[in-house]
Structure 1
Amino acid sequence: MPPRAKQKNGPPPKAELRTKPTVPNWPPLSPVIPAEHLSIETVLEGQILVIRNLFTSTLCKNYVSFLASIPMTTTPGKPKRGEAVRVNDRFQVDDPVFAKTLWEYSGLKSLVETFDDKTTFDGKVLGLNPNIRVYRYRPGQFFDKHYDESNKIQFGKDKMPAKTTWTLLIYLTTCQGGETAFYPEATKKGVAPPDPIVVGLETGMALLHKHGDECLYHEGKEVLSGEKWVLRSDLVVQR
């Protein structure tokens, strides 16, 4: 098993806490495709799921245009010990109102709650992590191999004990390169591991993948041309 170079889903680094980011005036989540016309597709059972066209192309364009105007921080090329190399521009804000809106109005809530295997998400899904992140990858930028960690949080107005279990990435653009590649482990000693599973970018597609102790080793490949814009949160379940 590779060493657990990790990505923390918790609070931003101290350097980003000097000035608390202002909650953006997010564009309306419109137009969207009704949930009954969307579906969750399984790429790898219990590990990787996709929802195509969760965001329409028009909605993606509106969001990219808006997000290009907000202040972003370029991550340092030299990570802390135990963390993976990540070179991109990012914005992070705690916004429970937007997280709730995204969960309820995009179709995610309906799709997750009606998914065939209710055990997939490791508990009763309460909604999305209010820790909202925006990533922009330009040519030459990437996120090296790592695991995403689960985080314990207090969810909602009632501060319900909860934890994150699945990473949510919504791709707002396509580009050359920038795919997300997963590296399953060998099932037995002396047996070659399975081939990597590479998920290409599709505008408006949501990628869900399990994180925490059962997270697959994965990376965001280098962007070769164009820009890769991603909206990020996590599924939250009751502890």
Structure 2
Amino acid sequence: MEKIVILTGAGISAESGLGTFRDEGGLWAQHRIEDVATPEGFARDPALVHRFYNARRVQAAEAQPNAAHDALARLQRDWPSEVVIITQNVDNLHEAGGAQGVIHMHGTLAGALCAACGHRWTAPPEMAVGEPCPACAAPTARPDVVWFGEMPYHMDAIYDHLAGASIFAAIGTSGQVYPAAAFVHEAMMSGARTVELNLEPSTGASSFDEVILGPATEAVPRWVDQILSSQ
């Protein structure tokens, strides 16, 4: 049976109230990416970075999964073969919607990471500068999120999944951030049918076999219905 591999980006969580990089007036619009989402920014002003991610953590904790998250969980549950969800998002809305085994390639707001020894633990609601690592006591705790210039997590597993995909879908992604933007090409080389679901065409939309446009809460449930009815 056909294995489905799905990549999700900020567009799938936007209708749950979590803004994308490009939203005017949102949390991201108030800060330069270089200041809050790079190792250099953290080294320069860790207090600013902690304030930014503390605010994002509060937002994410208050958000609820939407119909798109629910539909992907239903696809996982009802499809007779494997459905792998890879997300660029650092929220837990896929899990809250019932998805299993989600691969968080950019980490998660719910996690803390020691910049000294690499130990990971559950982040408190608010993190502060100088917070000690529970393993080595170094005062170097940071959010366990992948910043620009850092290598995303779980890449070997992701490429293995892409190599085995019969269907690859990218949902709510901009097509501008690598290596995720190249996943469609990896899947195509393995013979997968490819589809993009987005509010508007991404930068890489021309690489997909099919492009479905519309809000995620409408387009994704419709696509899942179509996939399930094709069994």
TM over 0.5: no
- The structure, 1 or 2, with the larger RCO (C-alpha pairs under 8 Å, 6+ apart) is 1
TM-score (norm 1): 0.29
Query: Which has the higher Rg, Structure 1 or Structure 2?
Result: 2
TM-score (norm 2): 0.30
